[in-house]
Structure 1
Amino acid sequence: WFRDSMGQLRPVTQTMRVTPSQDVLHIRHVSPEDGGRWVCRVSNQFGEQRLETQLTVTAQLSAHVQPQLQVVNSGDSATFNCSVTGSPIDSVHWLRNAESVAPISDGETSAGSRVRLLSQQVLHVSGVTRSDRGMYQCFVRNDRETAQGSAELRLGDTIPELQSTFIEQVLRPTSPVSLHCSATGSPPPQFSWFLDGEVLTAATVGHRYAIGQYVDQAGDVISHVNITSVRVQDGGLYTCKASNSLGSVSHAARLNIYGDMWMATTSPIHAVAGHDITIHCPYSGYPISGITWERRGQELPVDLRRTRGEGGSLTIGRVDPAVDAGSYTCTVRGNTGELARREIQLTVNNPPVMEPFFFPSSLQEGSRAQVTCSISSGDLPISFTWLKDGQPLPDSLQIEQKKGGGFFTFLVFNQVTSRHSGSYTCVASNSAANVNYTAQLLVKVAPQWVIEPHDVATLAGGSLVVHCQAQGFPQPQITWMRGQDRMSSEFQPLDYADGRTVLTPNGSLVIQSVGPKDEGYYLCRATNGIGAGLSKMVSLSVN
């Protein structure tokens, strides 16, 4: 007797439920897993015949979605598995918040390319957002009944999202004004306010300003800046910024106050080499007739790298410290011809540039190793941190961390073991940026016995399993051979063509309908190219 398993015929072995008895196959307590193609083969010295039977098992449908509750951070992925019992299964259908998630093509669904069916019973959501939260249901149907399971997706930590913002306004002196921003996020975001790029606090602007925030019943964080009586000096570009541990989001708009031109003092602007920077002109007064930018007494032309934005801001693309660092002068002209100027200092910081590093590909247990993380350019001082699999290096691994010259660091492995295998990340930080690089360390390990084979004796006509399992890296390959006697030096590979002898994926040897001809000596060998490998000879006796 044989059973179809993924297109291959596998011999039927006797179990507590399944009993092959010559021309009759008994299956006790039939379950849906027993459904499929069963084959009876009859043979003698003149040939063989086969008969196939398709067994269909009907059972009450049941569906369960796992995990039943997932708490996922914004941007991460979520996977739901619909475990189905019962038979037959005609269709599997998914709903999200009572709306269909129907497959379109190649697993993509009507909910979009972020929501995909990896199979009928596995739903995957990538880049989770607020719109993905809610209840997910798996419906299973046949022509007699329907079953359904459900699960909930909740958002964990999420990056802030602005829900409402303020607009540009034009006011007259002594008018009151209130600027509001609201945002969602988890953890709840904290708001910061800026005026022309400078941090705005009640302490810096006096008691005329009231700055605060609170959480409403919907869970939104609402922040405000209130000015009871505005002055010309209160004009400028106001920015609200909502931040939490995952990130930040900001909004900016001008507040224009009628009056003469006036320039606020401003701190030096810091830029990162190779990145874009926008410099705002810290002016107030309204109306104006124009804004100009100068450097070294010459008006800056508009070109591919230097552009002008709304409100007269200056944007420099891909900042070059040798060309762009220095003083910039912003000049604002009022409608009546009055002028206001302010010199702004731009400093450019160079981020670390890390050279890629690699571990030797031939490392075996017991070897020594060293890897160097070096910075080819970037402003000093530079601080270094090493991580293994995203976590600080465990002391138990006894890895030496050393630094040299302020611009490189290296790890020393006095004796590598399989426990050292993993991903190693070097993180370098300076005043401009943090950079990192990750390399894989794979330690090759010679085969080691998991289950060592032993001599066995069995009764004729039964089934036999001889265990032989090994571990190592790469995963060892198990080979079975047969010899003439215990002292034999010649072994021949086993022939699996007759279907009685099967090599299982874990390396164990299965022999069906054992007979006297199966008696003898068998050799199990485990090799992976590291070391000499393992081998063990066992005897098989048939009574």
Structure 2
Amino acid sequence: MDAPLSTGRDAALTCSVAKGDTPMTIEWTFEGRPVGSDMGVRVLSAGPRTSFLAIQSVGAAHSGVYKAPAIVPFELKEALRLGQDTALTCNVLRGDLPLTITWEVNGGAVDDLRSARVISAGPRMSILTLRSVGGDTGGLYTCTAENAIGRATHSVRLTVKEAPEIVPFDVVAPLSTGEDAALTCRASKGDTPMTLSWTFDGRPVTSEMGVNVISAGARTSFLTIQSVGAANSGEYTCTAANDVGEASQSARLTVKEAPEISPFSMEGPLNTGEDAALTCRVGKGDTPLTLDWAFEGRPVTPDMGVLVIHAGSRISVLTIESVEAAHSGAYTCTAANAVGNVSYTAHLTVKEAPEIVPFSMDAPLSTGRDAALTCSVAKGDTPMTIEWTFEGRPVSSEMGVLVLHAGSRISLKYPVYHDHFISLFLFVICTTIESDLHGSSEAPEIVPFSMDAPLSTGRDAALTCSVAKGDTPMTIEWTFEGRPVAELQKVRVISGGSRTSLLTVSSVDGSHSGLYTCTLHGYERGGHGGPLGAAHRQGSVALPPEIFPFPALDALMDGDDASLTCYAYKGDTPMTISWTFHGRDVSMERQFTTQAVGTRTKMLVIPAVSHGHSGTYTCIAKNAAGRAEYSTQLVVKVPPEIFPFPTLDALRDGDDATLQCYVFKGDTPMTITWTFHGRDVSMERQFTTLSAGDRTSILLVKAVSHGHSGTYTCRAKNAAGVTQLSTALVVKGQFLRLWKCASVTKRPPFSSCCSAPPVSAS
């Protein structure tokens, strides 16, 4: 041939034999193979020495010089996250047919991967799709194209980013106070570098909590607590985080706590006949609890004249109406649970007035006879004073009367000098207690009472109003902020005798916080009735925080600013308010800004949100009474973004063409469509589209011709917006011109700015 021919031209060759004997045969071969009509070649004989070979409309298959394959380079823009889909397109731009296209990963066949699928898209194209990539999917992927002349390869490395995965851990059993605790957090999967952090009930763990955290390499963290206490009970969470994501694992530590009794005592000695009350309150300790009373080591029983009242699971009140000397002694309250027991003892002292054994003369005596009287005090506290009087005058030796003391007894003996009967008036007076027992009408006196400390919501409370002094009868009444306590729910008043009243509140809440007053009625002095004595103390209920619900932010666009406001409308101050993002304290990250507004409000501000800000945001409010938290979701809508198409600048008439549209950013679900000159290609048979996962669409055009020249546009759309990328393809002989433009519209109505300039016929 004088020169190369263009596709579609006619070709002719003449074989003329100048010399040689006849007959002879003339044969044509093509690359060593006999020429046949199936090759599109016609052989004509022009005599015994001439033969013509004619080819009408030559094509590449008729070329006598074979070409080795050439693969259009392909690549991956970025590493993939675990679970994403992707596709690799191997397009053999040049090379004689037939071609064999194969795929390998790390030197082995891709058939060994369950997620891999190979799609043949014509004789020059092979597409490898990978669905939901995992850790075993990463590696070096190689496409090999081979024909009779040679082979070509192209490789690309696929990197799969793996989020952390934590091996589950737990506390084997509840621990007793004083034991040591240890938790091990190990991330079995996930790319490094990664961070391992611990929280306790949502708060970052610090050394001030008595907790030690030890790092053992990039994937393991130990949490240890030496000598646990009740304050260590709660949920411990380990969070592993890397660039891909995060994982958390929690374990609850339960510390078994022995009981602890709040000290109690009797307010001084009591007089016989007064009422007594002792309150045993267990401030700490696991439930269930048992509360028992003992007197001098013996269990208290009703026949002792003692009444025991249980006010909830943690309070027991012992009352004695009208105490006697026999009630003096040690009263012990014992609290016991599964962990252990504890006792507390208070002593009751009863002051007893003297009681004289009756005595008298058996009969009148004659003058000169001797007489003796014995005054014996059967009861009464010592020391005491015993005196004799005669007709109201103190007895003396001048009267001829002898007084003998024999311990607590006195013997009086005297002679009779007068001839008449003598009447003897004897009085025994215990001067040390006379003023206590035989004075004028006495005003009431209430034993002071109070709460030991503020109570947390849900605990039981009890107040004991005990009247140490005052004449009976009397009436004891309770009021709350000046109103009868009967108006309150879960409040009960129990009488413990004529001088004791017990007020109990089961499961306190904020409505029970206020002033409780015990008032005595029914005592009269000087003809005037009404309350003569009263005592009161403040009963305080510590209120844990309550957070006012705040809305979710589910309509933010990429680049918008976001703000969340946390308002703790209930709860005692001082309180602390903090924010976390997926369990991590936001104060440690620069991308977040927090601002306190007073003591009960804290704002969280995120400027220019992106997809990475989507997730769970939690506000935590904490005070001495407890904690509260409220969480919401922030959703950032991300519009699609298309990876630029590879340039196809060497297509010829009859070649196959492929375009791959890969949407590497944007929320799913999304739709990906192709248009040719603005028309949907799915309506035309000459085009084939293939889906390779949620983010990739491939357009195939087999045997391109001049009619395929024009603008091809890939359009990706999701709830956040629409993006499109266009290519102008020109098919003319061996020449190709390409124009590209792209537009992104984040919010409807969507519009396109893509166009291609007209292609000249030259």
Instruction: Report the TM range for the smaller structure's normalisation.
Output: 0.3 to 0.5
Superposition TM-score, scaled by structure 1 size:
0.44
Superposition TM-score, scaled by structure 2 size:
0.33
- Larger Cα-atom Rg: 2
Instruction: Choose between structure 1 and 2: higher strand proportion.
Output: 1
